Amino acid sequence: MNILVTGGSGFIGTNFIRYLLNTPAFTGQITNVDALTYAGNPENLSDMEKKFPGRYRFIKADICDQAAIEKIFDDHGIDTVCHFAAESHVDRSIVSPDAFIQTNIVGTFTLLETAKKRMDRIVRFHHISTDEVYGSLGDTGYFTEKTPYDPSSPYSASKASSDHLVRAYHRTYGLPVTISNCSNNYGPFQFPEKLIPLMILNALEGKPLPVYGDGGNVRDWLYVIDHCSAVWEILQRGKTGETYNIGGNCEMKNIELVEKICDIIDQKQVPGFNGSRRKLITLVKDRPGHDRRYAIDASKLKAELGWSPITPLDKGLYDTVSWYIDHRDWVNRVITGEYRSWIKRQYG
């Protein structure tokens, strides 16, 4: 495989590239294309360039730039696409939806067009999506691959649009695509705006822990390395034209999740706050269109490819909290924006 990984300097893309390069069964090359918007950080992979010379390369480019993408496909003999690149934060999509339309819809279209023109060598176009395209569940039930789309936010609507485009390019042109819709990811290298890293970092500093509404919104949490292993299985053995849901089997109310994070930090006896950090939890006004519950049925992936998540939530959370505590330099560079200066020096 000569894999093009889009958005490889973001949270999940970073973990996927690190996972793949350290997987003995993978002997190919990876070209990471990222526009380096606010959450993209190529420093996350700088050690991979040294550890795997000739097998990993980074190119700063926008997936909406047709000419740049076509040149990358041709210069590096791309035969496989793993498409992570996306604007992904719901709150940002509510305030500024235009970037989500451009990257998530137009960017996906650009990649599909480029791949379509080179179908003589493209063996797989895998598109990573989200469970948010399905909308909201009640107290019972699960999202399956047959669940009708019902997006609630500009973010999820843009991802739903890109999913439909990918399917259409398979049905209309025969492009060999697969799609995966995953539940909420967590783990190392996640940008601090997302729930889990935000709660970890605020709790470490004794700051308020804002939780939307009554804290009863339920999410299915998926450790990012488990997600990476699922994507790798789909890339190798997934059926062309099929969609696979990827879930963590870890449903939990947001407020209970934040309480677990507080307890882990207290257990580690991290200085900076007296008493239980649960006292820092603060309920705030709910965001517009906030889906009540997500839950994934990943039985198709297990039945067809033998994949199941292996990381229990308690272990994944403990390891994630530990990672952020042990990587304060990375956190500080991201929070202060210092990493942007490094990017500017390296790539302009």
Instruction: Name the residues annotated as catalytic.
Output: 131-132, 155
Q: How far apart are CA 16 and CA 3, in angstroms?
A: 12
Q: How far apart are CA 44 and CA 63, in angstroms?
A: 20
Contact assessment for residue 55 and residue 94, using Cβ atoms and an 8 Å cutoff: no
Q: Rounded to an integer, what is the distance from CA 13 to the centroid of its chain?
A: 7
Per 3-state DSSP, what percentage of the chain is helix, strand, and coil (rounded to 5)? 45, 15, 35
Q: How far apart are CA 333 and CA 79, in angstroms?
A: 35
**Measured CA distances, 305 to 5, 92, 179, 218 (Å):** 22, 35, 14, 27
Contact assessment for residue 7 and residue 13, using Cβ atoms and an 8 Å cutoff: yes
b/e for 98-128, b at 16 or more Cβ within 10 A? eebbebbbbbbbbbbebbeeeeeebebbbbb
User: For the chain, how far is it from start to end, CA to CA, in angstroms?
Assistant: 30
